[in-house]
Structure formats: structure tokens, C-alpha cells
Amino acid sequence: MKSEPYKFSIDNFSALPNRTVAWDGIRNYQSRNFMRNQMAVGDQAFFYHSCCKEPGIVGIATVSQAAYPDATQFDPQNRHFDPKATLINPRWFNVEITLVSTTRLIPIKELRQYPELSRMRVLQTGNRLSITPVDPAEWRFIMNLL
């Protein structure tokens, strides 16, 4: 799960009550589908800083609440408002995640040097998705780097 640290950093995450946040505001259908259809309570995720001087993994989170309609889509005052979304037919969903731990920064440059991670979606050229699945073998490999 990627976030720009100037918007929401690992430090912001750590400072939250219960270290839990609704991962709202996602407005990409593929990322929405990953959350809605594939993420379950107890699943873990890498927390990744993007669009910064040194992008990379900075923490581990767990899904603490399964997908539910993202409230920001219904709020006309919110920048994520979607006039086509209705309570009966919501278009956007979010999960809640809880910070498990911060980690050492594993920069994208380091991740790209390992052949074991060559197919990892977040490392693919042109990837701009804020949420991408991680293969179990990739997860284990990265956990061994920590």
C-alpha cells in the first residue's frame, strides 16, 4: 500500500490512535478491486512511501476491517466526492489497516536488485497503482531482508 509521505507518512500512521486508518480516497478501479475482492481481515501489507526522495517499504500493516463503502465518495465537500456514487450503489470501497511495525527503509533501488522480486507488481515500469498484490514468495523474501 503506497502513500506519499507528504500526505500520509509512516510517522503519521504511528501517531494515530490505535495506529489504525481507513484507506480511503482510492479512485482507481484496479486498486479498488484489490481491496474489495482480495483483502481480508488479517492479511498483511507492506506500507510503502512513494513520490519522495527515496521511495520504498517503511512498515508493515494488517487489514483490520474488510472492505466497506468509502464515505468520502458521498461527501460533496470532499475532494474524493463522486456524484455518480449512491448509498445503494457505491462505486468506491476502502479497508481499514492497522500498523504492525515500522521497518528499516528498503528502497526501491534495493528491491529491484533481487531477481526473486523481478515480477513484483510495484516494481514494474509504469506502475502507478497505490495498492498491488504481493506474491507469498515475494513477501517471505522481503521479510528476510528486514
Calpha distance 6→66 (Å, rounded) = 26
Calpha distance 8→30 (Å, rounded) = 21
Full pLDDT tens readout for the chain, 146 residues: 999 999 999 999 999 999 999 999 999 999 999 999 999 999 999 999 999 999 999 999 999 999 999 999 999 999 999 999 999 999 999 999 999 999 999 999 999 999 999 999 999 988 888 999 999 999 999 999 99
- 61-96: per-residue pLDDT in tens? 999 999 999 999 999 999 999 999 999 999 999 999
Cα dist from 87 to 30, 59, 84, 92, 144, whole Å: 21, 34, 10, 11, 43
Q: Which pLDDT belongs to residue 14? A: 97
Domains of the chain (ranges; CATH) run 2-136 (3.10.590.10)
